[in-house]
Amino acid sequence: MAEKSVYNFRVEPQQVDFTLRATITSMIEAVLNTAGIDAHGKGFGVDALNADNHSWVLSRMAVELDRLPAQYAPYAVATWISDYGRVLSTRNFTLADAEGRIFGRAVTQWAMIDLAKRTAVDLSWVGRAHSEAIVDAPSPADKPRKIREVTPMRMWEHRVVYSDIDFNRHVNTLRYIEMMLDMLPVEKLTCERPMRLDAHFLHETRFGQTLRIGCEERGETDLFEVKDDGGVAAVRACIEWK
């Protein structure tokens, strides 16, 4: 049985907004980059999988941020895999400040896809091959919640350009997060309220497509849906402001 892995970072100037605190996006970026660093270091990163024409794809994500650290504040991201299901593996995170106080939690669920067939791979063999990588600790927050229906009150269009796409030629996760957050008033993004984001990545979008991002305000919750130019839902997400 493995231990949680801990990676140390510092809030760099490029991660803060005019409040001089880290942006929500930069903390989600830290979480996702840590997933990549940890998987690579343990031999089951995207690079190792690509040799077999496989890749990890983020399917669902939940991120809770109680507060956003200030510029130059050190922080530590702990990460661990708690289980491999047949289709999804669960990778968890906590974010802690220099005093060890946890200010953020994340639960991510990843599928492995066959890049040639574009289908999900049965993960049972990964669970067996890498069982020593599983940590016997529960997820630090509720697993990502389903978002069934979004009725947009505001819409925005975005044509997918080169700087939006990742090594898989798909729009990268952080760009979706930015597109959705950019629909909200700046005051909301800088209000220092604890928040929880749930996101489902349903369908890939590609270079040249025109996406439609819709936003619905429902009390203390903002819901989002990104559709491709065929009207297919690519991402649904929800932010709950506490």
Q: What is the rounded radius of gyration, in angstroms, for the C-alpha atoms of the chain?
A: 18
What does the per-residue mask of binding to its own copies show for 164-183, with x meaning CB under 8 A? -xxxxx--x-x---x--xx-
What does the per-residue mask of binding to its own copies show for 106-145, with x meaning CB under 8 A? ----------------------------------------
Contact 2, 80 (CB under 8 A): yes
* Angstrom distance (rounded) from CA 154 to CA 147: 18
* Max CA separation in the chain (angstroms): 49
**Considering only 87-95, 137-145, 184-192, 215-223, which stretch makes contact with its own copies by CB under 8 A?**
184-192
Site membership for its own copies, residue 52 (CB under 8 A): no
In the DSSP assignment, the letter for residue 145 is P
What does the per-residue mask of binding to its own copies show for 57-86, with x meaning CB under 8 A? --------------xx--------------
- Residue among 3, 8, 12, 98 that touches its own copies (CB under 8 A): 12
Cα separations (Å) of 79 from 39, 97, 215? 10, 15, 31
Cα separations (Å) of 179 from 3, 121, 191, 242? 35, 30, 19, 22
Site membership for its own copies, residue 18 (CB under 8 A): yes
Number of Cβ within 10 Å of residue 114's Cβ equals: 13
Structure tokens at 236: 């649904």
Site membership for its own copies, residue 17 (CB under 8 A): yes
**Considering only 8-16, 118-126, 196-204, 222-230, which stretch makes contact with its own copies by CB under 8 A?**
8-16
Rule CB under 8 A: which residues touch its own copies? 12-14, 16-18, 20, 23, 25, 29, 32-33, 36-37, 40, 45-47, 71-72, 161-163, 165-169, 172, 174, 178, 181-182, 184, 186, 189, 207
